[in-house]
Amino acid sequence: MDNTDKTKKIKIAVIGCGNIANNAHLPALSAMPDVEILYAVDLIEERARAAKERYGLGRWQTDYRAALDDGDVNAVFVLTPNYSHYTITMDALKAGKHVFCEKPITNNYALSREMAAEAEKRNLILNIGVCNRYHKSVELIKDFVEQGRLGELYHIYCSFRSFRSIPGLGGAFTSKEKSGGGVLIDWGIHFLDLILYITGVKVRTVSANTYNKLGRDISAYVYKDMWAGPPVPGGVCDVDDMVSGFVRTSGASISFNGAWAQNIDQNEMFVDFMGDKGGIRLMYGKGFTFYTAQDGVLQSVTPDYHIPNMYQREDLRFIEALRQGLKTRSHISAVLESARLLDAIYESAEKEAEIRLN
């Protein structure tokens, strides 16, 4: 089909009608005049039916292959748990569909590269859900860095730490086999990806440690609320509930601490960009403050601006990418470095050694 013809709607199948589908992509896509969602698919029938009803969609299905077999479908959104990203995306590409796949690409770098190669071979667009690349604050900070307002950017530190926030303890989120990891692959990817996007650096060495301390005894874990919960008795928790690391790159070095749970009641979600002329603290998902010294005095500015919905923006760009055959900032080829970094962090922790990347 000729996707450039704007009078023809892009026909979509949404696969996975859970949290991110209902909170981000279904509202965004269903509001676009040149998009039609033909299928709501979920293994859980009530979720597929509910999405079809709520957004007035064409059909619901429990088997995504029905949508892939439909020649009218141009593109699919893969909004399922991490362990299924690879299989569903590869099946969709082989069926000739363009794909938007939520983050992380998949559970590891090797499979991520296979996905990229398949999309390239078939000349199809494969974008990844790196929503922060469409956050207004991230765009502004990228401009500040590129304009040299920070001077030499020499170090970046990020913290993604919470007091008690292990999701669905004992379920897919805390299974290495199903999710590829814990707090690093779930939260850390957002922080590290936005850093790599802003700076454009290549990773050189990684030294890191991961910890599985507070969630490993599922019945002993004390908490108030559990997102993606409740705990699954008899389930498994073999992933990182805390991670810490240091990364050398072709530019600024990066250090980070992350915790789904810790015995410190402080939630910290920020990224600090340290330059020799200025520094920036980004409050994750919010605004930022720029610090500098000028005319012999210390100054700080907290810019004020409207923050548009980043999910709407990334979905709009995906549709534009299909229409124009563009590789945008969320094309898989632009996101692979983040997957490579995650692999190196886990490898360093496992081998208790610094990992050097070529």
- Measured from the CB atom, the residue of 63 and 152 that comes closer to ligand NAD is 63
Which residue's CB is nearer to ligand NAD, number 40 or number 153?
40
Place of tokens 């469409």: 134
Of 10, 14, 17, 184, which one interacts with ligand NAD (CB under 6 A)?
A: 17
The answer to whether 173 contacts ligand NAD (rule: CB under 6 A) is no
Kindly tell me which of 60 and 290 has the beta carbon lying closer to ligand NAD. Answer: 60
Tell whether residue 42 is a contact of ligand NAD (CB under 6 A): yes
Select the residue interacting with ligand NAD from 1, 5, 19, 307 (CB under 6 A): 19
Q: Does 40 bind ligand NAD (CB under 6 A)?
A: no
Under the binding rule (CB under 6 A), the answer on residue 16 touching ligand NAD is yes
Integer CA distances (angstroms), 223 to 167, 188, 232, 243, in order:
11, 21, 14, 20
DSSP annotation string for 31-80 = T-TTEEEEEEE-SSHHHHHHHHHHHT-SEEES-HHHHHT-TT--EEEE-S
Between 106 and 159, CB nearer to ligand NAD = 106
Q: Which amino acid is at 16?
A: G
Check binding of 207 to ligand NAD (CB under 6 A): no
Q: Tell me which of 64, 109, 256, 260 binds ligand NAD, using CB under 6 A.
A: 64
Q: How far is the CB of 288 from ligand NAD (least distance, A)?
A: 19
- CA atoms within a 13 Å half-sphere pointing along the CA-CB vector of 228: 16
**Does residue 239 touch ligand NAD according to CB under 6 A?**
no
Is 279 an interacting residue with respect to ligand NAD (CB under 6 A)? no
Neighbour-count burial of 232, counting CB atoms closer than 10 A to its CB (0-12 exposed, 13-18 middle, 19+ buried): middle
How far CA 178 is from CA of 168, 185, 351, in Å, comes to: 13, 12, 22
Q: Which residue is nearest to ligand NAD (CB)?
A: 18
Site for ligand NAD in 81-140 (CB under 6 A): 81-82, 84, 102-103, 129, 131
CA distance 339 to 137: 23
Angle between helices 136-146 and 189-199 (to 10 degrees): 40
Residue owning tokens 């790196």: 130
Kindly state the smallest distance separating residue 102's Cβ from ligand NAD, in Å.
Answer: 4
CA pair distance 18, 22, nearest whole angstrom? 6
Q: Distance between CA atoms of 88 and 75, rounded to whole angstroms?
A: 12
Residue nearer to ligand NAD on the CB measure, 97 or 249: 97
98 vs 135, which CB is nearer to ligand NAD? Answer: 135
| Contact residues: ligand NAD, CB under 6 A | 15-21, 41-44, 47, 64, 79-82, 84, 102-103, 129, 131
